[in-house]
Chain A
């Protein structure tokens, strides 16, 4: 027993290195591959990577911007990773986010005079609930008839685009805007700024709390255990009395709630209104983050921050060096492929 007792620390360190190493190699390989491509196009690789990696840390404002980007990415990744723990793929985070944003905007526009103490929680709560409801339809279809959630969640994204367009042009339009946009929400519904002289808003705190709660839920609670068991083998889970389909339903609705909250935070923290196209490509990046983290909820925030840095760097690179920002998207997809590849090679 004494030998066993002495081992863990060193073993854990070795294990941690073994787990992080493939990530570093994958990142390096992706950057190298993309670097060759950038060089072939005739751009300055060194400057490109310098811009990508260090823009976020140049000053407080840039760092604040990065964290503001980190918030929706983290929440979208969680919205994907929570159902993934149970083996289900939520690729409808975009639609759930927009649905949540509509809910948040509705409350913020309809109750403009409420004080912040009341309006802000209501705005966020509305986004949470509407996002959950948006996910409830595919979740219910899966629960009731076993209909593939990948397709239904994805198709509802396209429905949500039209819905946002409708709300922003017919229900509460802002006639002064040149783009489908609603009127602003009441001042009480706006998230406070965390750091003076930056745009960093309090959504950061909320998203970190959600991430912590998601981790505790999956790793420490009995329902979380059942979710993990279901993800590991739904047949065996059912044989041992776990209500597999109920967990599918629960995890998809939870994912929808988290994605909806990301929409509410964007409305309350960034735009103060609903804007068509505000979903950006947060969901796709959220999926990439979730897959790179292999669904590990403890790893998701770390990966999300890294991707946020890349994204902020990518727009800077496009602005200052005229290198298409899509390059970074390719880098991210490559990182994912390399990570998966290293996993596969290790198993051999």
Chain B
């Protein structure tokens, strides 16, 4: 059997400090197959692939490529073995052109010269053959994310890849773009390539894979042909005993309509004709109006980079904006961020590390950020550190944050724990409105479940929630209504009961539903 496998990984182990990310993983991939690598966040999928690609070194284990033992010490060696990888965050140089990005690091024929005419023809031929349309002369930074992904795939194909790794390739795509990607992958495997498709989405892995391997907390728990896999068996394998699958909100297949039932509650948050620009001064949000009622979760769906960040920051007055923001009828448009926080607006930014936390400060510092000028944390001009530490200890316990104590550095926490800190901070201020941006991105399943439970608790107490997410399944699961954002404008809305991925996808890619103005 072994000679049939293009890739064998056996007994792979890898630790980051005290944390064992991989604990004896086995993976076998055959020629001409799409192999789904399924697992929740933190299961070790990306770490495993980074080892295969030579970005990380394994602590133990062996790798066979084409039946021969391989020691992959760097990406260069991986590529020499015919392994290519499309990372979740594209590894591209935005200031370079598409061609320059693709040829970067390859040995051009007239090296060290820089003659790009030959490569250009080769790239155009590849793009044509595998159905990956893009303009090779464009500056990469000007292209939308969907196109930049095609460039990443072309980069691997240009290098003569035999085994292509795709790490969560669908997170930034509309459902229509996902279908196009899958069609390209099918062409590739027909040409004899192997594809490893990393995902945490059941639906997608079942739609495209020939075989599926499930990872759970650093171990490979099962490999099965698609025909033998069912959603239920995969979920079981993914979460093990850690989560009660049948009662879990995350895997709820039954309707949660009762929990989400809407009774004409009064409007809590009203946004009227909100507009804002990006840091370069280009309009990023235009004429946005919506309401969120008490006890309501309203979702904002859209492909990343369509103005979600501007919307969140405009509401919180973090960037200059036009338009009005009302809370329980009161006009808060003139208030600054700290006053909005004091009035009960709470914000959990998308980028936990860069926007959300003080990585080089203590948890105590982090937990009062934004509330530090208010009692009981401060009296007059002085901080009340004993009060702050008492509260911090209580929150660490209540939100089950794994940390030494209030003095622990935020930068030492895992992503899931850090997100608990963000939520603890937001919810401990008696928030009336919660604004969250991709709150579960990169979290393990237990943490995602925790975030959802906290959202529902907030909802039950009459809080309003604006949930901005690029994960459409998450929005379908939790929201009363969903507004779709496209190029800074509202492309359309969906009501609970009418949720449909393809309808949402059409709106997300700017196709009618409602017309996206040509003037803009």
Contact = CB atoms under 8 A, between A and B. Distances in A.
A221 interface: yes
A220 B369 CA distance: 15
- Pick the most buried of B338, B356, B369, B378: most chain A CB atoms within 10 A of its CB: B369
B43 to A, nearest CB: 26
A242 B340 CA distance: 12
Given A225-B365, A236-B357, A241-B336, A220 B349 contact: no
Interface residues of A, number: 20
Nearest to A348: B17
Contact of A221 (B338, B341, B368, B381): B381
Interface string A215-237: 00000111111101101110111
A74 B421 CA distance: 38
Contacts of B355: 235-236, 239
A229 B365 contact: yes
B354 A235 contact: yes
Overall SS of chain A's interface: helix
A240 interface: yes
Interface string B30-46: 00000000000000000
Contacts of A242: 338
A238 interface: yes
A236 B365 contact: no
B361 A241 contact: no
Nearest to B347: A239
B339 to A, nearest CB: 8
B354 A241 contact: no
B382 interface: yes
Contact of B341 (A220, A225, A226, A241): A241
Interface in B329-386: 336-341, 347, 349, 354-361, 365, 368-370, 372-373, 378, 381-383, 385
B318 interface: yes
A242 B369 CA distance: 9
Contact of B383 (A220, A232, A236, A237): A220
Nearest to B349: A239
A296 to B, nearest CB: 13
A232 B339 CA distance: 22
A229 B383 contact: no
B337 A241 contact: yes
A223 B372 CA distance: 9
Contact of A240 (B337, B354, B385): B337
A235 B359 CA distance: 11
Contacts of A235: 354-355
A282 to B, nearest CB: 29
A233 B365 contact: no
A236 B372 contact: no
A265 to B, nearest CB: 27
Contact of B382 (A222, A226, A232): A222
B60 to A, nearest CB: 20
A226 to B, nearest CB: 7
Given A232-B359, A239-B355, A240-B341, A220 B347 contact: no
B382 A220 contact: yes
B357 A221 contact: no
A235 B352 CA distance: 11
Nearest to A217: B381
A241 B374 CA distance: 13
Given A222-B372, A241-B338, A233 B359 contact: yes
A128 B519 CA distance: 57
Interface in A5-56: none
Interface string B290-318: 00000000000000000000000100101
B397 to A, nearest CB: 11
A246 to B, nearest CB: 12
Contacts of A236: 349, 354-358, 369
B356 A239 contact: yes
Contacts of A237: 358, 369
A210 B360 CA distance: 26
Interface in A236-289: 236-242
A165 B182 CA distance: 75
Contacts of A228: 361, 365
Q: Which 10 A-B pairs have the closest CB atoms?
A: A241-B337, A241-B338, A240-B370, A232-B358, A232-B361, A232-B360, A240-B369, A233-B358, A239-B355, A222-B378
Interface of B: 313, 316, 318, 336-341, 347, 349, 354-361, 365, 368-370, 372-373, 378, 381-383, 385
6 contacts: A222-B382, A226-B372, A233-B360, A236-B354, A238-B318, A239-B347
Given A220-B383, A239-B318, A240-B341, 6 more contacts: A220-B382, A222-B378, A229-B358, A233-B357, A233-B361, A241-B341
